[in-house]
Amino acid sequence: MSTLTLGRVKHADGTARPRRNVDYVRVGLWLALAVTMLIWAMPLIFVIFTSLKSEAAIFSTSSFSLPTSAEWSNYAEALETGNLFTAGGNSLLIAAIKVPLGLLFSAAAAFGLSRIRFKHSKLVLGAFALGSMVPIQVALGPLFKIILDLGLLNSPVGVILPYIGFGLPIQIFILHGFFSAIPKEIDESVRVDGGGNWRLFWQIILPLSKPALAALFILDFVSTWNEYAIALVILQDQGAQTIPLAIQGFQSQFTSSYGPLNAFTIMSILPVMIVYLLFQRYFVEGMFSGAVKG
Amino acid sequence: MSKLTATRLETPPGPVTRHPSKKPLLKRIAGGGFIAALPFLAPALAAYVVFVIGPMVTAVRLSLFEWSGFNADPQVFVGFKNYVRLFTADPVFWTAMQNTIVWVLLSLVIPTSLGLVMALALNRPIFGRNLFRSVFYIPGVLAPIAIANMWRWMYNPNYGVFSELAKAWHIGDGSGVTFLSDPKVAIYAIFAAFVWQIAGLNMVLFLAGLQSVSKELVESARLDGANSWKVFRHVTFPALRPTVVVVLVLTIVHSIKVFDLVVGMTGGGPAQSSQVLALWSYSQSFLQHDFGMGNAVATVLLAITLVLVIPYLIWSTKGNED
């Protein structure tokens, strides 16, 4: 397939590098990539295969063999026993509140740090940046105590608050970079028109930063959806569980029902996969805008 | 890295007290200064101080106490007793420490270079490029706890992929493999899942960095007769240096935080052989109800993080002036 296209390219541009060995290198490279990709896809493929096999088929056929008939009962069973709807509802509720609210906090702080001049603003930014690097697990014990004292154990609010705190640093860092790149002359013109900081923030800076905000929104949704450690400590009742806790709960409860277990895994990662496929662009952009500028 | 240039080089006009300003007071506040920035900073600062900085300080404080974690029980001040116990009488702590260090060192090499190779290979128009990128990157968006379960299933000694391969290729004694229940191998088996998880993330970062490599420079080096290796060595890699730093720092941060994967695959076993610091801290606090020891481990973890990360923070705030 690719060899054909490469061959065509070779004939098409007789000027560039028509040396034959270049093509072999390219074909070799492509094959190496294809093999690596297959290896990379294997865990997912293997889990999907298993989720569609009956117990008998799992025990008797090779892991690599295709499922002969789709065993959807695995999915039904996983749904029935796995607390998936409750956990999914909890995860959605938490993400729906945490993500926009956290992003608003981050954007406001990044604005204050990048467009308003004051002494030691760099120090404040550095203090925020530091938070993105410290492991959450350092704070688990004390967090548990705070949430316990607030009476918020097993409540969505009990995880939303720490999630907002721990989500701020990286977002402030990225948005600060983004806001700083917007020309300062705009601020002057807004102020000449008699507008204050709020107007600058709401009507100029935020609309101009839509791409970065969208990217961060998506990335933050995914990391909120996936978070395990804080949820593990705060949400101890089954009714309060989020998806990652449900996965682990299902796995420890039904250790050897491999079909439903893998069906459960598939269903639990499906929302994130769909979000990724729909918003692929943002994942890359989010990382580009934040991470790498010389 | 997005530059940490908060201010221009001239000193910002803070709230002026030394000489009477010509501007009316309101104007001054609206124009700048901490007072004007405060409403924007307040919500974030409050959440950050209460739920991030506060708990970290509390963790250090609690490491000097003996406490079960139950509010009904008293917190008894014991000074450095927990640390003495940790360093002299807790072999699991040293296992966890060793595993964490090995994990950091391995991940500085394997998933980073893998990500770089993937990025270099995909930094040109190539058939199926987007599919390649997606497949490499997708593991990075899945919940680590789900990844743990996927890999646990792959390592299943009876029906897992690796056992099947070992049987098919007659590796070992033909009875398959038991990676996760082997104390010598378990931590590396978990590490393999980690490589799968983050190599694609590094690839995306490197691809972003490669955008900043000047095409003209590469072309002219080629015209001067430089081979691919020379171009990479003298043109591409120097331009990638900031990206490399970011990737290495992020890798260290990811490695120190490893928790979900270990919980989901071995729970730290067999016989605590795959413990890591983050999990050992959690286990002491929440499973053994020993908040003193748990927070002592947390404090050690915090100290290690700060030692590794603060130099980078100082470098990035200082060295990136516009």
Helix, strand, or coil here: B199?
helix
A176 vs B2, B55, B205: nearest CB = B2
Q: For residue A55, name the pLDDT band (cuts at 50, 70, 90).
A: confident
**3-state secondary structure string across A106-144:** HHHHHHHHHHCCCCCHHHHHHHHHHHCCCCHHHHHHHHH
Q: Mean pLDDT across chain B, nearest whole number? A: 87
- Amino acid identity at B57: V
Lowest model confidence (mean pLDDT) among A10-19, A140-149, B155-164, B178-187: A10-19
- Calculate what percentage of chain B has a pLDDT beyond 90: 62
B43 CB neighbours in chain A (<8 A) are 104-105, 108-109
Q: Mean pLDDT across chain A, nearest whole number? A: 86
Q: For residue B63, name the pLDDT band (cuts at 50, 70, 90).
A: very high
Task: State yes or no: pLDDT of A236 exceeds 90.
Answer: yes
Looking at residue A22, its pLDDT comes to 63
**Backbone CA torsion sign across A38, A43, A46, A47:** negative
- A106, A175 in Cβ contact below 8 A? yes
Task: State yes or no: pLDDT of A90 exceeds 90.
Answer: yes
Q: For residue A292, name the pLDDT band (cuts at 50, 70, 90).
A: very low
A278 class by beta-carbon count within 10 Å (0-12 exposed, 13-18 middle, 19+ buried): exposed
Confirm or reject contact between B13 and chain A (CB < 8 A). Answer: yes
- Calculate what percentage of chain A has a pLDDT beyond 90: 55
Residues ≥6 apart with Cβ < 8 Å to B231:
B218, B221, B222
Q: What are phi and psi of B65, to 5 degrees?
A: -120, 165
Helices (H), A116-257: 121-131, 140-149, 156-180, 185-192, 197-199, 206-208, 210-226, 229-234, 243-253
Looking at residue A99, its pLDDT comes to 97
Confirm or reject contact between B315 and chain A (CB < 8 A). Answer: no
Cα angle A134, A137, A139 (rounded to 5 degrees) comes to: 80
Looking at residue B9, its pLDDT comes to 38
Higher pLDDT among residues B82 and A14, named by residue: B82
- A113, B37 in Cβ contact below 8 A? yes
Confirm or reject contact between A274 and chain B (CB < 8 A). Answer: no
Distance (Å, whole) CA A237 – CA B85:
33
Q: For an interface test with B, which of A3, A21, A45, A118 has the most B Cβ atoms less than 10 Å from its Cβ?
A: A118
Task: State yes or no: pLDDT of B25 exceeds 60.
Answer: no
Please give the structure tokens belonging to residue A41.
């896809």
Which of B236, B296, B76, B302 minimizes the C-alpha distance to A138?
Answer: B302
Tell if the CB–CB gap between A144 and B69 is shorter than 8 Å. yes
Task: State yes or no: pLDDT of B107 exceeds 90.
Answer: yes
Task: State yes or no: pLDDT of B175 exceeds 80.
Answer: no
CA of B47 to nearest chain A CA: how many angstroms apart? 5
Residues 193-222 on A with a CB inside 8 Å of B are: 196-197, 201, 222
Looking at residue A148, its pLDDT comes to 95
**What are the CA-CA distances from residue B270 to residues A247, B192, B310 (Å)?**
21, 17, 35
- B67, A144 in Cβ contact below 8 A? no
Task: State yes or no: pLDDT of A97 exceeds 70.
Answer: yes
- Calculate what percentage of chain A has a pLDDT beyond 70: 89
Q: What is the pLDDT of residues B231-290, one digit of tens each?
A: 999 899 998 998 999 899 999 999 999 999 999 999 998 999 999 999 999 999 999 999
Distance (Å, whole) CA B8 – CA B321:
8
Task: State yes or no: pLDDT of A205 exceeds 60.
Answer: yes
Lowest model confidence (mean pLDDT) among A34-38, B30-34, B286-290, B291-295: B30-34
Looking at residue A10, its pLDDT comes to 42
Looking at residue A58, its pLDDT comes to 87
Q: What is the pLDDT of residues A242-253, one digit of tens each?
A: 999 999 999 888
Looking at residue A235, its pLDDT comes to 97
Residues 232-251 on B with a CB inside 8 Å of A are: 239, 242-243, 246, 249
- B118, B136 in Cβ contact below 8 A? yes
Mean pLDDT, residues A162-167 taken together: 96
**What are the CA-CA distances from residue B255 to residues A42, A54, B108, B258 (Å)?**
24, 38, 9, 5
Residue with tokens 């978990």: B190
CA of B141 to nearest chain A CA: how many angstroms apart? 7
**Backbone CA torsion sign across B4, B140, A95, B54:** negative
B68 CB neighbours in chain A (<8 A) are none
Distance (Å, whole) CA A85 – CA B321:
50
Looking at residue A42, its pLDDT comes to 93
